[in-house]
Amino acid sequence: MPEPKNTILVVDDTPANLQLLESILQEQGYAVRAAISGRLALKAAQAQAPDLILLDINMPDMSGFDVCRILKTDPNLAGIPVIFISAAVDTADKLRAFEEGGVDYITKPFQHQEVLARVVAHLELKRYRDYLEEMVQERTRDVQLTQDAVIYGLGILAEYRDPETGLHLKRTQRYVKILATHLQHHPRFQGCFDDTTIRLLYLSAPLHDIGKVGVPDTILLKPGPLTADEFDQMKRHTTYGREVIDRIAAGMNNDSAASFLSLAGDCAASHHEYWNGKGYSGLAGDAIPVAGRLMALADVYDALTSRRAYKPAFTHERAFTILTSGDGRTVPEQFDPAVLQAFVELRDTFKLIAFTLRDEDTPPATGF
Tell me the backbone φ, ψ of residue 360, rounded to 5 degrees: -60, -35
Say if 77 falls within a structural domain. Answer: yes
Q: Which long-range contacts (CB under 8 A, 24 or more apart) does 112-121 make?
A: 112/24, 115/21, 115/24, 115/25, 115/54, 116/24, 116/25, 116/28, 118/83, 119/8, 119/25, 119/30, 119/52, 119/54, 119/83
Q: Is the pLDDT of residue 274 over 90?
A: yes
Q: In this predicted model, what pLDDT tens digit does every residue of 18-55 receive, in sequence order?
A: 999 999 999 889 999 999 999 999 999 999 999 999 99
**Residue 114 CA neighbour count, 13 Å, CB half:** 10
Q: What are the helix (H) ranges across 162-281?
A: 168-182, 195-204, 217-220, 228-250, 255-270
113 and 170 inside one domain: no
* Assigned domain for 41 exists: yes
Average pLDDT, the chain: 86
Are residues 176 and 91 part of one domain? no
pLDDT at position 160, please?
63
Instruction: Output the CA torsion 116→119→122→128 (10° steps).
Output: -80
Is residue 46 included in any domain, yes or no? Answer: yes
CA distances from 204 to 69, 264, 270, 301 (A): 40, 5, 13, 18
Taking the C-alpha atoms of residue 34 and residue 272, their distance in angstroms, rounded to an integer, is: 64
**188 shares a domain with 101:** no
Q: Which of these ranges, 155-169, 217-231, 241-255, has the smallest mean pLDDT? A: 155-169
* Cα-based angle 274, 331, 306 (whole degrees, multiple of 5): 90
Residue 155 lies in a domain: no
Residue 361 lies inside a defined structural domain of this protein: no
SS3 216: coil
Judge if 122 and 252 occupy the same domain.
Answer: no
64 and 167 in a single domain? The answer is no
Q: Confirm whether 365 is domain-assigned.
A: no
Domains held by the chain: number: 2
Q: 205: domain CATH number? A: 1.10.3210.10
Mean pLDDT of 119-140: 84
- Predicted pLDDT at 110: 82
Distance CA 278, CA 331 (A): 11
- Domain with 191, as residue range(s), is 162-356
Looking at the fold, whether 14 and 121 belong to one and the same domain comes out as yes
Q: Are 201 and 317 in a shared domain?
A: yes
Determine the pLDDT at residue 221: 79
Are both 69 and 214 inside the same structural domain? Answer: no
